[in-house]
Structure 1
């Protein structure tokens, strides 16, 4: 006999979607969230962050994102939306519960949270965020750089960098957005191994997500085939490519060496730099599954489309490229959650839940 039907680790967008899907399956879930409230990492993102998907495509199952369906929500709007969603979900959410280990015995999982009584369940969903552990690439000489090094997860706004010489390393949406913002206050170079690719955010007058949904790409379960593909294009509302063309920021190939506070570029020129900002992405924080033996040597989960390949009853929600192009997004976690819960629970009878009250 176990304490709960399913234990969900993480109370951000993935965990909330998992709880909704669990209740659809007739399960009574409990969410264990390490933070003070179930809003994921959103409050810690930089101040100007704006979604690249309109509100129409940014909601979780059962609750439409508020406001004009065509507007692009700001970070704080997402935080407020998740608070509202969690408050209306009708699911037990235990905040300040940091899970540090999961074990399994006789077909049941035991989840251990620091300073709390251990809980048991036949199913565990790891939804602690695909963007909770900053990834810092092993750039030659970075450890000896005498200037300031920070990750985009630590960046908030451009004020502290006014007048500085800054290099932003990366080629994705956040790298371009941060570099463009900083370029109004500092001398900024966007450094990457290959030129940034841009895609119009609103081709033919419609947001790119409209077309992705219309042609079925958004729903295709081919994430496992695309996760090692080259970097996808940056969504450009019309200002990013133009800014780089004007040299604010300028774009260069990755520097080759670092000596003190000086970097050397591929053409041999050397330049003093104040700050290197790594907009190089994140990795999931799943260290609590290490003792279970569910992770590969690099810390990534051994899974297929969100289902553990090592432990029956263990599932994942919110991993990048988990099943589709949209797996790690607000619009995609709901579909993945329903898929994972259905696969885990088999033929268990479901319960209709059209909307959150």
Structure 2
């Protein structure tokens, strides 16, 4: 485990017992929990590994990114977007909103604090969270302790790059979508984009508009929907219909209208999955593509669809259909994953792949045992994360009022933690 101390080699880190919950992550979910706790007059401490709030939006998104659904579905609790913001705010609009939000609720995270371990100390009835600081030496560590731990580090904490044979032999530039900013520097180049989600589609559009030659590798089926239908947001229409109709019927309606507006996507190499777009979203968390312009370039041939990559070579890629092509660069639009299993020692709320464990219908998805909470792991967007933040913060506030503790620095008040289990 990165940053893990070896027992017997380093002194135990200083431990600070807090008079409020520990929140791991200063993204939108962590900010929403903090703002709601502030509304309840409950103190909190946010631990954030990066140097600012909203690390994903600040450091790992491309320049032209807009919210793909209307701003009304992306607001955090208590504060809406400014009325002068466009319907689909830009990346920079959204960051301005988040910074204003943090300022309004006096949210000041402990920045540059990477959580390396969190475990529940049953005898003390406290969560103990060990952090290291990027600004300090590797031996410098701080331990925080609290009766409550909120995991808000998100589903997109670590990049996912598939292991493809020969990738290390490719002589051109290879990067993850988190490193992509603009298609300008790829002008005139043949670029393979691996992945056909919203990011992959929009990066292909950006590459095409900057004079590159984009190729999009598609491994499995994908639903492409117009961003708007009948002058209204497709997402908004779907949400309204779901109040009255079963999800399968809404899916059939969306696909019928999409075919009327876009035509047959399978004719251009984008096979539709058997399950409908909303049903897939509900089961897997994978969103359908809401087209913002890439589809017209696919139809015109300016974005070419190619099969799944079988292997890479020095100058290009071989596909599963046996064809080979030369490329100047490869961009992996292959998404992200949670990193919770690497630091949280708990097997009840999270699975080994860092997602909330499926629980019985009567159980809440945002709370676990011993004062453990998770917010922002539903796969259903900011609106649901905001609702989870409201519920988690209210639950913590009720418990905090019943049994508050006094904050204190306890350099040796708690026994040193046992070494983590092997692996």
Shorter-chain TM-score tier: 0.7 to 0.9
Task: Note if 1:271 corresponds to 2:325.
Answer: yes
Consecutive unaligned residues in structure 1, runs of 5 or more = 351-357
Task: Note if 1:243 corresponds to 2:261.
Answer: no
Task: Note if 1:56 corresponds to 2:72.
Answer: yes
Task: Note if 1:234 corresponds to 2:292.
Answer: no
SS of aligned partner of 1:333: helix
Is residue 97–residue 116 contact of structure 1 (8 Å, CA) maintained in 2? no
Aligned partner of 1:318 in structure 2 is 376
SS of aligned partner of 2:109: strand
After TM superposition, the score normalised by the length of structure 1 is 0.83
Q: Provide Cα deviations, 1:163-199, integer angstroms capped at 9, x if missing partner.
A: 2111101121110000111123211111111354211
Task: Note if 1:136 corresponds to 2:161.
Answer: yes
The whole-number CA distance in structure 1 between the counterparts of 2:150 and 2:283 is: 24
Is residue 341–residue 352 contact of structure 2 (8 Å, CA) maintained in 1? no
Q: How far does residue 287 in structure 1 lie from its aligned partner after superposition?
A: 5.2
Q: How far does residue 128 in structure 1 lie from its aligned partner after superposition?
A: 1.6
Q: Provide Cα deviations, 1:103-156, integer angstroms capped at 9, x if missing partner.
A: 221321112221454221111111123212111122333243333221100111
The whole-number CA distance in structure 2 between the counterparts of 1:59 and 1:317 is: 15
Aligned partner of 2:101 in structure 1 is 85
Residues matched between the structures, number: 338
1:1-357 equivalence runs, <5 A: 2-24=17-39, 27-44=42-59, 45-68=61-84, 71-106=87-122, 107-114=125-132, 115=140, 117-184=142-209, 185-216=211-242, 226=281, 228-229=283-284, 231-237=286-292, 239-286=293-340, 289-291=343-345, 296-300=351-355, 302=357, 304=359, 306-307=365-366, 311-321=369-379, 325-326=380-381, 329=382, 331-342=383-394
The whole-number CA distance in structure 2 between the counterparts of 1:288 and 1:117 is: 18
Is residue 315–residue 344 contact of structure 1 (8 Å, CA) maintained in 2? no
Is residue 281–residue 287 contact of structure 2 (8 Å, CA) maintained in 1? no
Q: Give the number of the structure whose residues are more often helix, by fraction.
A: 2
The whole-number CA distance in structure 1 between the counterparts of 2:90 and 2:19 is: 36
Distance 1:317 1:229, change over 3 A: closer
Distance 1:145 1:77, change over 3 A: same
Consecutive unaligned residues in structure 2, runs of 5 or more = 1-15, 133-139, 247-277, 403-423
Is residue 133–residue 282 contact of structure 1 (8 Å, CA) maintained in 2? yes
RMSD: 3.0
Is residue 200–residue 235 contact of structure 1 (8 Å, CA) maintained in 2? yes
Q: How far does residue 267 in structure 1 lie from its aligned partner after superposition?
A: 4.0
The whole-number CA distance in structure 2 between the counterparts of 1:320 and 1:247 is: 37
Which segment is superposed worse, 239-248 or 193-202?
A: 193-202
Distance 1:74 1:274, change over 3 A: same
Which segment is superposed worse, 79-88 or 56-65?
A: 56-65
Distance 1:77 1:69, change over 3 A: closer
Q: How far does residue 200 in structure 1 lie from its aligned partner after superposition?
A: 1.5
The whole-number CA distance in structure 2 between the counterparts of 1:65 and 1:284 is: 28
Q: How far does residue 242 in structure 1 lie from its aligned partner after superposition?
A: 1.2
Q: How far does residue 275 in structure 1 lie from its aligned partner after superposition?
A: 1.4
The whole-number CA distance in structure 2 between the counterparts of 1:164 and 1:69 is: 35
Q: Provide Cα deviations, 1:190-234, integer angstroms capped at 9, x if missing partner.
A: 1111354211111121112322442357xx9xx999565495421
After TM superposition, the score normalised by the length of structure 2 is 0.71
